[in-house]
């Protein structure tokens, strides 16, 4: 179980893909709260869950300040993210969200962007992901090259890959994320996927009496 499914001890259970994505959503929802002055926490489901789970106090009477700082600290400590990762999220949110309706649209767009990006990266890097984790540097370089291809290659042979890559490029332009940010995001998810235990196939049962 990860930190968002904690029971008593959170320190030994950090590091799942679900946790990483949840913390990223907490961060950009907290930025939304601060920028737009959102006071109704029901509009920020991930922040609400995070705030209750870790008992984050409201700073200066403003929703989002304490939650943003706490989420950033966890993301940097547990996943080694750079300062630019957070700056790009803040720039993207500021550029795209001027009211709460924009915030809802942004959330849906980011989820679609994340889903399509990771599906595409998993498809394009299948054999490369079989490399042992100690080839981390090589995997990072491969991820950077694949992201660059996704952002610059005009045509892909497979129709489904071409369609998804086109969608990812459109999301990238609308949201305003750089290749560097996409690489940091997807590389973190890919490395976490390598660490997660594979599900064992269910044993067949003998139906004979």
Say what the pLDDT of residue 135 is: 81
Quote the CA–CA distance of 131 and 52 in Å, as a whole number.
39
3-state secondary structure of 199: coil
Domain count, the chain: 2
What tokens does 175 get? Answer: 């949201």
**For range 32-51, the mean pLDDT:** 95
- Mean pLDDT throughout 38-57? 95
Residues 26 and 102 grouped into a single domain: no
Residue 189 is encoded by which pair of tokens?
Answer: 């998810």
Q: Encoding tokens for residue 120? A: 């595409």
Predicted structure pTM score: 0.85
CA 158 to chain centre: 26
Q: Angle at CA 80, nearest 5°, toward 141 and 25?
A: 100
| Domain boundary residue, one of 81, 114, 136 | 81
Q: Which domain holds residue 70?
A: 1-81
Instruction: Mark whether 143 and 61 lie in a shared domain.
Output: no
Q: How far apart are CA 150 and CA 9, in angstroms?
A: 40
């Amino acid at each position: 179980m990860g930190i968002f499914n904690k029971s008593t001890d959170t320190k030994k259970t950090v590091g799942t893909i679900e946790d990483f994505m949840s913390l990223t959503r907490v961060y950009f929802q907290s930025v939304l709260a601060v920028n737009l002055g959102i006071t109704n926490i029901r509009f920020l489901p991930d922040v609400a869950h995070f705030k209750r789970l870790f008992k984050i106090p409201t700073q200066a009477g403003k929703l989002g300040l304490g939650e943003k700082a706490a989420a950033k600290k966890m993301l940097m400590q547990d996943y080694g993210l750079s300062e630019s990762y957070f700056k790009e999220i803040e720039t993207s949110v500021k550029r795209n969200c001027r009211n709460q309706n924009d915030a809802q649209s942004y959330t849906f767009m980011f989820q679609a962007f994340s889903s399509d990006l990771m599906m595409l990266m998993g498809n394009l890097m299948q054999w490369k992901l079989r490399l042992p984790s100690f080839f981390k540097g090589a995997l990072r370089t491969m991820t950077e090259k694949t992201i660059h291809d996704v952002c610059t290659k005009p045509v892909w042979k497979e129709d489904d890959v071409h369609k998804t890559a086109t969608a990812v490029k459109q999301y990238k332009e609308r949201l305003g994320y750089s290749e560097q940010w996409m690489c940091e995001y997807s590389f973190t998810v890919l490395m976490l996927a390598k660490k997660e235990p594979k599900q064992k196939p269910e044993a067949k049962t003998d139906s004979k009496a």
